[in-house]
Structure 1
Amino acid sequence: MVELLVVIAIIGILVGLLLPAVQAAREAARRMSCSNNLKQLGLAMHMYHDTFRQMPTASELTDSSIERPASWIVKILPFMEQTAAYGQTRFAGNDFASRDGVNLNWETYDGLIVPTLNCPSSPLPNFRIDNTSSATRALGAPDQIQNQIANYVGVSGDYNERKSRWNGYLGMNDYNGVVVARDDNNLEVVKFASILDGTSNTLMIGEQSDFIRVQANNSADPNFYDQRAGNWHGGAWSGGGGAVHNNFEAYRLNIASTRVGINYSPTNRYLDPYGIGPYWYGRPGHHTIFTSTHGGGAQFAKADGSVEFITESIRFSILSLLSNREDREPINDSDL
Structure 2
Amino acid sequence: MSTTRRSPLGFTLVELLVVIAIIGVLIALLLPAVQQAREAARRMSCSNNSKQLALALHNYHDTHGCFPIGSIQTTNGERPASWLVRIWPFIEQSAAYEQSTFIGNDWSGRGFDKNWRATTVLDVDFLNCPSNPMTQFWTQNASSEMTSDGCPSSIKYQIPDYVGCTGQYNGGPLTNWNGYNGREDYNGIFTVLDVRNSEPTSFKHVTDGTSNTIALGEQSDFVKIMDSSGNVQKKDTYRAWTWHGGGWSGGGGGTAAEAYWKGLTSVRAGINFVPSTTNNPFGMGDYWYGRPGYHTIYTSAHPGGAMIALGDGSVRFISENINFTTLTRLANRHDGQVVGEY
Per the TM superposition, whether the score is higher than 0.5 is yes
Residue of structure 1 equivalent to 2:31: 19
Structure 1 stretches of at least 4 aligned residues deviating more than 3 Å after TM superposition: 1-8, 267-271
1:264 partnered with 2:276:
no
SS at match of 1:11: helix
Q: 2:287 aligns with which of 279, 286, 289?
A: 279
Question: What's the CA shift string for 1:303-324, capped at 9, x where partnerless?
Answer: 0011001111111111100000
1:102, distance to aligned residue in structure 2 (A): 1.4
Instruction: Measure the CA separation in 1 of the matches of 2:277 and 2:145.
Output: 37
Q: 1:58 aligns with which of 52, 55, 70?
A: 70
Residue of structure 1 equivalent to 2:210: 199
Mapped contact 1:276–1:286 kept (Cα < 8 A):
no
Identity in percent:
53
Q: 1:250 aligns with which of 227, 246, 259?
A: 259
SS at match of 1:292: coil
Residue of structure 2 equivalent to 1:97: 108
1:225 partnered with 2:235:
yes
1:79, distance to aligned residue in structure 2 (A): 0.6
Residue of structure 2 equivalent to 1:36: 48
Residue of structure 2 equivalent to 1:332: 340
Residue of structure 2 equivalent to 1:173: 184
Question: Which structure 2 segments of 5+ residues have no match?
Answer: 1-11
1:20, distance to aligned residue in structure 2 (A): 0.7
Mapping for residues 139-154 of structure 1, pairs under 5 Å: 139-154=149-164
Question: Which structure 1 segments of 5+ residues have no match?
Answer: none
1:63, distance to aligned residue in structure 2 (A): 3.1
Residue of structure 2 equivalent to 1:86: 97
Question: What's the CA shift string for 1:195-251, capped at 9, x where partnerless?
Answer: 1111111000110000111123x42532111111000001000000112xx424211
1:3, distance to aligned residue in structure 2 (A): 4.8
Instruction: Measure the CA separation in 2 of the matches of 1:331 and 1:109.
Output: 39
Instruction: Measure the CA separation in 2 of the matches of 1:221 and 1:198.
Output: 41
Mapping for residues 69-80 of structure 1, pairs under 5 Å: 69-80=80-91
TM-score with structure 2 setting the length = 0.92
Residues 154 and 269 of structure 1: CA distance in aligned 2, closer, same or farther (over 3 Å): farther
Q: One-letter code of the match for 2:232?
A: P
Residues 161 and 221 of structure 1: CA distance in aligned 2, closer, same or farther (over 3 Å): closer
Q: One-letter code of the match for 2:314?
A: S
Question: What's the CA shift string for 1:281-303, capped at 9, x where partnerless?
Answer: 11111000110010111111000
Q: One-letter code of the match for 1:84?
A: A
Question: What's the CA shift string for 1:83-120, capped at 9, x where partnerless?
Answer: 11111111111110111x31111111112100111000
SS at match of 1:278: coil
Mapped contact 2:230–2:278 kept (Cα < 8 A):
no
Mapped contact 1:269–1:277 kept (Cα < 8 A):
no
Q: One-letter code of the match for 1:52?
A: H
Mapped contact 1:195–1:326 kept (Cα < 8 A):
yes
1:215 partnered with 2:226:
yes
Instruction: Measure the CA separation in 1 of the matches of 2:257 and 2:182.
Output: 12
TM-score with structure 1 setting the length = 0.94
Instruction: Measure the CA separation in 2 of the matches of 1:268 and 1:230.
Output: 25
Q: One-letter code of the match for 2:294?
A: H
1:306 partnered with 2:318:
no
Mapped contact 1:230–1:254 kept (Cα < 8 A):
yes
Computed over aligned residues only, the root mean square deviation of the Cα atoms, in angstroms, reads 1.5
Q: One-letter code of the match for 1:331?
A: V
SS at match of 2:59: helix
SS at match of 1:300: strand
SS at match of 2:287: strand
Instruction: Measure the CA separation in 2 of the matches of 1:15 and 1:62.
Output: 59
Q: 1:323 aligns with which of 310, 331, 340?
A: 331
Instruction: Measure the CA separation in 2 of the matches of 1:155 and 1:134.
Output: 34
Q: One-letter code of the match for 1:147?
A: Y
1:118 partnered with 2:121:
no
